[in-house]
Amino acid sequence: MPYTHFQFIAYQVPTAAHGRVTRAMVPAFEPGTEIAAERFAPIRVEDSLPDDARIRLKRLAAAVKSASNNLKKGVKDAPNVLKVFVVPEFYFRPSGTRHCTYSYDDATRLFEQMDVMFVDPEFKDWLFVLGTVMWHMDEKRHWDEETQQWVEGKAHYRNSAVYVRGNQAPDSLRIIEKEVPSRLDGVPNPYVNDGAGYDPSTQQVFTDWLFRKSHVFDVGGVTCGLEICLDHAYSNHDPIGGNHRVLKNVLRDWPVVPAPDVKLHVLTAGGMKIAPQSVAAMPSGFILRNDGYSGDPQTELRSIGLYRRSVEFSSVVPASDLRGVANLKVIPQVGFLGFPDDQQIPIDGTQYSSFDQGLKFFPVQKLPR
């Protein structure tokens, strides 16, 4: 059955520290209490995983199970309704490791587990946007032909968003890299232009079309777009191009005209408000935001009206037009489900936000055609 509606479910949790944050250190919350497997069956999390990844995954699994149970109480858990479960940026950032990142091996095992944990038919009509994973990969020592000498390898750091299609494992997981580094990421990339870019080798990867086009993807006939925090940023100093606006730039550069009509624009963030100039979903589409480092609201759903050429809303333009400003309408939540103490993310209240932890449910909405 094709999807005619969707429901946004936000896992509202603080994931980044407040106060002065530098590249040298961004505190990560401790993994905390390990949730018993019976609390989130039929979701499975392997006990052989590294401690930090396993505990965070089990807490996430318990949140997903709570959301599913809540939907079963009504008629909203219908097969024509796509359930979109979104986690904020930085949820998977380990404490006590190099720059609060997973090693390549630990990140690989984490991704492999995410790929299969929502295989049960209970999640057939779900899309999971699982926040981001902070990890690093070490280059090996190698011979440089130009200098004719051995060169020590360096570390490459990633802030990778993950989305998973329920009931389609294996190979249900996809990874989208954050293109624009932020000082809040807390990793020692050699920044240029005051934090505007990665080192040349990394930047070359992120500008490849194979990686860029992955920001747009299809879920059962619903075209979605995904951005990570600073990738969504807009600057008034460059009103035509903007300074980042990754999703909108991808649609602008789409090789086939017209570009896909994005119905759901998902923003997983750590301190990024919705910028009307950066919204890229089609008119009558939606933008879904979940932010682990922000003031109220931490999570929000907005519907999209027409796009106009300026803030005065004159001259209608396509959604992919970089000059287009979206006319947005707030859609209020319909419910909030708090967590028991052992399911709370353990945070230091002097450093982190103190907003309520739990699941925020938004009303079922009709998808644009």
**For residue 174, what are the domain limits?**
5-138+150-366
Radius of gyration, CA atoms only, the chain: 20
CATH number of the CATH domain containing 18: 3.60.110
Give yes or no for a contact between 109 and 117, defined as CB atoms under 8 angstroms apart: no
Is residue 143 situated within a structural domain? no
Please tell me which of 66-75, 178-187, 248-257 the model is most confident about, judged by mean pLDDT. 248-257
For the segment 313-338, the average pLDDT, to the nearest whole number, is 88
| Of the candidate ranges 62-71, 137-146, 338-347, 355-364, the one whose mean pLDDT is the lowest | 137-146
Query: What was the pLDDT predicted at 49?
Result: 96
Is residue 281 situated within a structural domain? yes
Is residue 144 situated within a structural domain? no
Total domain count, the chain:
1
For the segment 148-167, the average pLDDT, to the nearest whole number, is 83
Is residue 310 situated within a structural domain? yes
Tens digit of each residue's pLDDT (9 = 90 or more) over 180-238? 777 677 776 544 444 444 555 555 556 678 888 999 999 999 999 999 998 998 876 55
| Of the candidate ranges 112-116, 242-246, 248-252, the one whose mean pLDDT is the lowest | 242-246
How many whole angstroms from its chain centre is CA 284? 22
Is residue 24 situated within a structural domain? yes
The angle, 0 to 180 degrees and rounded to 10, between the axes of the packed helices 104-116 and 51-72 is 20
Is residue 305 situated within a structural domain? yes
Is residue 275 situated within a structural domain? yes
- CA atoms of 225 and 216, how far apart (whole Å): 4
**Residue 281 DSSP label:** S
- What rounded mean pLDDT belongs to the chain? 86
Residue 183, classified by CB atoms within 10 Å of its CB into exposed (0-12), middle (13-18) or buried (19+), is middle
pLDDT for 23 beyond 50:
no
Query: What was the pLDDT predicted at 199?
Result: 53
Local confidence band at 293 (pLDDT 50, 70, 90 cut-offs) = confident
Tens digit of each residue's pLDDT (9 = 90 or more) over 80-107? 999 999 999 999 999 888 888 999 999 9
Residue 124's H or E segment, with its range, is none
pLDDT for 270 beyond 60:
yes
Q: How many CB atoms lie within 10 A of CB 296?
A: 8
Query: What was the pLDDT predicted at 75?
Result: 53
Is residue 145 situated within a structural domain? no
- Per the model's pLDDT, the better-predicted residue between 202 and 280 turns out to be 280
- CA atoms of 168 and 117, how far apart (whole Å): 10
Local confidence band at 364 (pLDDT 50, 70, 90 cut-offs) = very high
Query: What was the pLDDT predicted at 122?
Result: 94
For the segment 31-45, the average pLDDT, to the nearest whole number, is 94
